Amino acid sequence: MNYTKALDHKIFEIISKAAQELQLESYVIGGFVRDFLLQRDFKKDIDIVAVGSGIDLALKVSELLPNKPKVQVFKNYGTAMLRYKEMDIEFVGARKESYSENSRNPQVEDGTLEDDQNRRDFTINALAFSLNSHNFGDLVDPFDGLADLKNKLIKTPLNPDITYSDDPLRMMRAIRFATQLHFTIEANSLKAIADNKDRIKIISGERIVDELNKILETPKPSIGFLHLYQTGLLDIILPELTALNNVEEMEGHTHKNNFYHTLEVVDNICPNTDNVWLRWAALLHDIGKAPTKRFHKKQGWTFHGHEFLGGKMVKKIFERLHMPLNQKMKFVQKMVMMSSRPIVLAQDIVTDSAVRRLVFDAGEDVDHLMTLCEADITTKNPKKFEKFHKNFEIVRRKIVEVEERDHIRNFQPPITGEEIMSLFNLQPSREIGVLKEAVKEAILEGEIPNEYQAAYDFVLTKAEKMGLKKVAIKSSSSKN
């Protein structure tokens, strides 16, 4: 079967010419071929395999291109990469691989195209288009990957036990592709993932998180997380999450299954955000519930303080998986720790004071927080569902009204500590902190507007009650 139309970009003609000059066979393989056959959007990453030196082929291609792009060479891996018109093209020599038990880094030796296709993770990624002049565009498909594409099947070229044991990251990739493409993992392959799940322990946290992020970036991440759970991988990677799948009954009282609820929340949030860290917050928002679960005869099941504990658990998870411990982690922490605040507001009468405090604590992230809390509505009762969403609309309107009037988001006190020190001739002391806190509380409670003059007058009155005397004269250049 010929697919010349897939190779109408100039770059493939140039690669073919370069390979011919070097007397090498060359093929485009993997994701480009798979996505063309699936009629998916063209990805900017192209993998080229040469039967011979991939590095030599990359250098020759660069020579033939008009702007002679720089070639990055990775001698240890026998690969090279160049960028051409926003495309990243990677060249590798055909090879066969063998693995040791404690590493996913293979021992490599030169091989044929067949050897190279044998080492690929899935049949749908072993598909190749020939770039050779005598059969340009021909599909090379030794494992019937085309049929697996049509049948929407994730299947390994060789024995799945060997494939997954050799490189355990492939287990995560199988689940990620199944989630991205809405494919089924072939039964023997799924069983092999469960049988080899403990091998995931040799994979670095960074690699695992990269696959988790790609699952979270799909329209329906629950597909992937259910596969991770059913194969036992999730219990190794995120035991805090699987601990939520434990429903208990005491004296006729049960609680909802917080594991399946969490997956619903993650799916709910996806249409409303492409922020992967907000999706992480949705995934982790209830992790504090398992360790805080208690039964009380009068109250039934409670999870007091689960948001605070969950926030602390976020940091431990990020550390364990070698995730970024910067603002991204702090954002997820904040979302988890505040995840119930808007829900409480939506259930009660929404006061300006409560909204001001919400905006003050959430700052620039208040809209993200509202998105998370709306996704957290998973009740199957249509009346309750409608009521909660209407209440959240009221909260959102209040946030806009209060912010326009009081400017609480990214709050800065209208009167500074330095001005207070100058007013009362004070050195840095406890009294300054007390006065600043009093101003903040007065603004949040609506006692005074968030304006300089009101704060100035409030400080004078408060300071007088504290026995402090004003010694400085208010400058005529003071703020209005």
Give the tens place of pLDDT for each residue, 122-178. Answer: 999 999 999 999 999 999 999 999 999 999 999 999 999 999 998 999 999 999 999
Same-domain check for residues 54 and 184: no
Band (84; pLDDT cuts 50, 70, 90): very high
Domain boundary among 237, 272, 288: 237
Helical (H) or strand (E) element with 29: strand 25-29
Domain annotation covers residue 314: no
Say whether both 84 and 201 belong to one domain. no
Structure tokens at 346: 């939506």
Residues 134 and 201 placed together within one structural domain of the fold: no
Q: Is residue 476 part of a domain?
A: no
Domain end position, chosen among 203, 221, 237: 237
Number of domains in the chain: 3
CB 162 within 8 A of CB 170: no
188 & 132 share domain = no
CA–CA gap between residue 166 and residue 172 (Å, rounded): 13
Q: Are residue 25 and residue 116 in the same domain, yes or no?
A: yes
Residues 24 and 125 in one domain: yes
**Domain of residue 175, CATH code:** 1.10.110.30
Residue 191 lies in a domain: yes
Asked if the structure places residue 145 within a domain, the reply is yes
Asked which of 237, 272, 287 is the last residue of a domain, the reply is 237
Give whole-number Cα distances, 384 to 87, 140, 340, 393, in Å: 50, 56, 17, 14
What is the pLDDT, as a whole number, of residue 101?
67
Q: What is the pLDDT of residues 388-447, one digit of tens each?
A: 888 888 889 889 988 888 888 888 889 998 999 989 888 888 999 999 999 999 999 889
Q: Would you place residue 325 in the very low, low, confident or very high pLDDT band (cuts 50, 70, 90)? A: very high
pLDDT at 479 over 90: no
Q: In this structure, are 16 and 107 located in the same domain?
A: yes
> Domain check: are 133 and 183 in the same one?
no
Q: Tell me what percent of the residues of the chain surpass a pLDDT of 90.
A: 68
Residues 89 and 157 in one domain: no
Pick the closest to residue 404 from 352, 480, 349 (CA basis). Answer: 352
Residue 110, strand partner residues:
95
The DSSP element (H or E) to which 110 belongs, if any, is: strand 107-110
Q: Is 340 exposed, middle or buried (0-12, 13-18, 19+ CB in 10 A)?
A: middle
Domain of residue 432, residue span: 417-465
The answer on pLDDT for 324 being more than 50 is yes
DSSP bridge partners of 109: 96
Q: What DSSP string runs through 134-194?
A: GGTTBEE-TT-HHHHHHTTEE--SS-HHHHHHH-THHHHHHHHHHHHHTPEEPHHHHHHHH
Check: CB of residue 223 under 8 Å from CB of residue 263: no
pLDDT of the residue at 164: 95
Residue 13 lies in a domain: yes
Is the pLDDT score of 235 beyond 90?
yes
**E-assigned strands of 220-274?**
249-250, 253-254
DSSP per residue, 401-427: HHHHHH--TT---SS-HHHHHHHHT--
The more confidently predicted of residues 98 and 335 is 335
Which pLDDT tens digit goes with each residue over 36-46? 999 988 778 99
CATH number of the domain to which 22 belongs: 3.30.460.10
Residues 24 and 145 in one domain: yes
Are 342 and 395 a contacting pair, CB within 8 Å? yes
* 157 and 28 in a common domain: no
Rounded-to-integer distance, Cα 441 and Cα 446, Å: 8
Do 203 and 145 share a structural domain?
no
